[in-house]
Amino acid sequence: MEDPTVARARTPHPPTHAGTVGRERAATSTPETVVAPPVPQVSHPSESGSRETAVTVEATDFSFWYGANQALKQINLKVPSRKVTALIGPSGCGKSTFLRSINRMNDLIPGTRHDGDIELDGESLFSPDQDVVRLRRRVGMVFQKSNPFPKSIFENVAYGPRVNRLVDSRRELEDLVEHSLKRAALWDEVKDRLDKSALGLSGGQQQRLCIARALAVEPEVVLMDEPASALDPIATQKIEELIYELKSDYTIVIVTHNMQQAARVSDRTAFFYLGELIEVGNTDVIFTNPKKEQTEAYITGRFG
């Protein structure tokens, strides 16, 4: 399961991006797919072998309004499993709105409405029997501004699994906390002060703690809203390496204003402009040979 190339996270693109939009659907029904815990639902194509990729999140004609203001216009986008999909575009283009629609965080804002649909593993996010609390457990989120709870480091990670009753004993909880902190590459830095306040950590450590917290409730998808925009280059690099490692187990969608970051960490890139999805494709293609003029203008810094 561990890809040996994972350690070299600075490699901008893994060798293959085999899944094309047209083929992705097929994989969900491919019989010989392997089910890999702890993520139960998807096939797990290895980085180099399989030519097909399962789709985890699929938006169909998805539109979104804040009051009278339409923020998203008929978005059609497929997010492949266990890949990093970057959403880029100038401020106000709707990329964050789209991201926050995937775990329905926009529900919290009064006066919003939507049209069309987003499916998670073929299941509509907006169907009446969708439990939004359960949905948000399956789709974790990391925010732009690190937001650790005013609790100890341990409690920050332990609170989610405990509330969601994912563990039966203290022992299990401790294991899960340790595992999550290790996954977030934070364990070695905090293992001796787990009972200290999380607010005493540095900005980069706080953000990795928030990632650990999100991973602790065992999500399938992790949404990241400009996770490194408030961090210095070294902390940013750590977060990027982490994203690169996490994609072997999680489907990741990341919003970023940083073109280099999108190019470095993502497998696929979607360019949003004025509420529309202008272009989506493999990251190397988008950055070297975009089809649309607007995309090229944006990534070369001519506007935005």
Partner 1 sequence: MTDAINRRRKIQNTVWLTLTGVASLLVVVPLILIFYHLISSGAGALNVAFFTRLPAPVGETGGGMANALLGTAQLVFYAGLFGIPIAVAVGVFMAEAGRTRFGSFVRLVADVMNGIPSIVVGIFVWAWVVVAMGGFSLLAGAIALAVMLIPMVARTTEEMVRLVPKELREGGQALGFTRWRTTLGIVLPAAKSGILTGVLVALARIAGETAPLLFTAFGNPFWEWRLNEPVASLPLLIYQYAISPYDDWHRQAWAASLVLIGLVLVVNVLARSIFKNPYRSR
* Strand, helix or coil for residue 279: strand
- Report which of 106, 112, 124, 121 is spatially closest to residue 61, judged by C-alpha positions: 124
Q: What is the 3-state secondary structure (H, E, C) of 50-107?
A: CCCCCEEEEEEEEEEEECCEEEEEEEEEEEECCCEEEEECCCCCCHHHHHHHHCCHHH
126 binds partner 1 (CB under 8 A): no
- # residues near partner 1 by CB under 8 A: 27
Closer Cβ to partner 1, 53 or 207, answer by number: 207
Does 173 bind partner 1 (CB under 8 A)? Our answer is: no
85: nearest Cα among 229, 221, 273: 221
Residue 118: other Cβ atoms inside 10 A: 22
| Interaction mask 247-276, partner 1, x per CB under 8 A | ------------------------------
CB 231 to partner 1: min, Å: 15
Of 149, 178, 229, 304, the one binding partner 1 by CB under 8 A? 149
Spatial separation of the C-alpha atoms in residues 266 and 261, rounded to whole Å: 8
Contact status: 214 vs partner 1 (CB under 8 A): yes
d(CA 223, CA 250): 10
Q: Give me 286's structure tokens.
A: 């988008």
Q: Does 212 bind partner 1 (CB under 8 A)?
A: no
CA distance 216 to 208: 12
Closest separation in Å from C-beta 164 to partner 1: 6
Q: In the complex with partner 1, which residue's Cβ is closer, 141 or 173?
A: 141
Answer yes or no whether residue 141 interacts with partner 1 by CB under 8 A: yes
Give the one residue of 105, 221, 252, 263 binding partner 1; rule: CB under 8 A.
105
Sole binder of partner 1 in the list 65, 66, 126, 159 (CB under 8 A): 159
Query: Residue 70 and residue 81: Cα distance in Å, rounded?
Result: 29
Task: Calculate Rg over the CA atoms of the chain.
Answer: 19
Which member of 45, 80, 94, 140 binds partner 1 (CB under 8 A)? 140
Judged by CB, which is closer to partner 1: 34, or 163?
163
Nearest CB to partner 1, comparing residues 25 and 136: 136
C-alpha–C-alpha distance, residues 169 and 175, integer Å: 10
Residue 78 found at the interface with partner 1 (CB under 8 A):
no
Does residue number 143 form part of the binding site for partner 1 (CB under 8 A)? yes
Give the length of the chain: 304
Asked whether the beta carbons of 2 and 183 are under 8 A apart, the reply is no
Only one of the segments 15-23, 36-44, 65-73, 146-154 lies at the binding site for partner 1 (rule: CB under 8 A); that segment is 146-154
Answer yes or no whether residue 208 interacts with partner 1 by CB under 8 A: no
Residues making contact with partner 1 (CB under 8 A):
103, 105, 108, 110, 133-137, 140-141, 143, 145, 147-151, 159-160, 163-164, 199, 210, 213-214, 217
